[in-house]
Structure 1
């Protein structure tokens, strides 16, 4: 009998692995529907859907290994990171998905609320929050919407050698700022950004990418705590916020 491995679990959803199959169990069926629609529309490799039932989506395992893990050095060669950049260019140039993303005004309101919560609860020193809040302002500007993954963490991208074998977890895919995907991908590995840009093949605003790192991290700390994760683990959001603040 094959063992069952809990990949990730929190109050909203869980993913378990049984052999070469992943089962995504979600309390909100609309998220599963959105993920299936996004994978069908994405012009880059995604996992094969084996079957789906209410609240459960079964996916085949992807070949290769994750691009990296937060808090750990990435063993992927520069060519693999560049290949991910090339895949992102294809995704961002694709026709827009129907799901709208957050507007700059919505993000600014969320950012204000999270900064207030972080300082009120003394989760981080006030100066670290305020410095990151100032950095994040550069992301709150109009952008040309693109087909974005929306949660392009290192562990969501699989590579084999210097080729991308697939991208997982499409539940947050929406119209958004393409630089947000680049910022999320390199959140714990900013030194790899130039490799990604080499494959992406376009001029990008490095300050906006840096701003998205601060904005994502400021917005993410409370969610992680509320769902049983540790935002202070190596390479995670609190590490990012401290590093960003030290560069001001």
Structure 2
């Protein structure tokens, strides 16, 4: 089971104007109610609505275990405009992830994915239509630590920047698994043995994927808006454990 999200504190607002608001979504918080997550009782949509005292509309989605920038519109009309920007690829998204192994300096991952039905996979997903999916990978840091794994006396990990130009469900998770560098803490696309290792050794039970930045043109002002999210505490803690506190990158 995922770590329980602490919602005793208000959601962290990264950006707000009369049309849009962005939060730093915690790990394990669902964007909205879902039939496949019946264990959840709190959702970003309801929490932000109550915090602001008005209706909010999620302009895009983040996986439950992914933290970082989550953008909402404050009206149905603005929501339609922003959703169209996302669909047209006009919103630039940047993620950071900690993955197994040493990744290449840069890599273009051009690997089509079957359309996911959103219900956890199964036959419908396996038989779904293939959709183009493209992600650019850039390695920021690599580390080797004295953590035995299998036949190896040490373990290697990389901190990567991931820039998707398409928005398929679980795209980054599936792409990293495809190139054999799964995101730590990912289920079901990641490495269960690594996930178990992190849970036992570091008491970590989340997924190390962070939506770091969104950049888009504001539909009203035509200003280029860039929204950045600081790391959630668990992501930052593991960065320090693996790469050392002094080498942890900051998000200004």
- Pick the TM interval, shorter chain: under 0.3
User: Could you state the TM-score of these two structures normalised by the residue count of structure 2?
Assistant: 0.26
Normalized per residue, which structure has more strand?
Answer: 2
- Bigger relative contact order, structure 1 or 2, given CA contacts below 8 A and separation 6+? 1
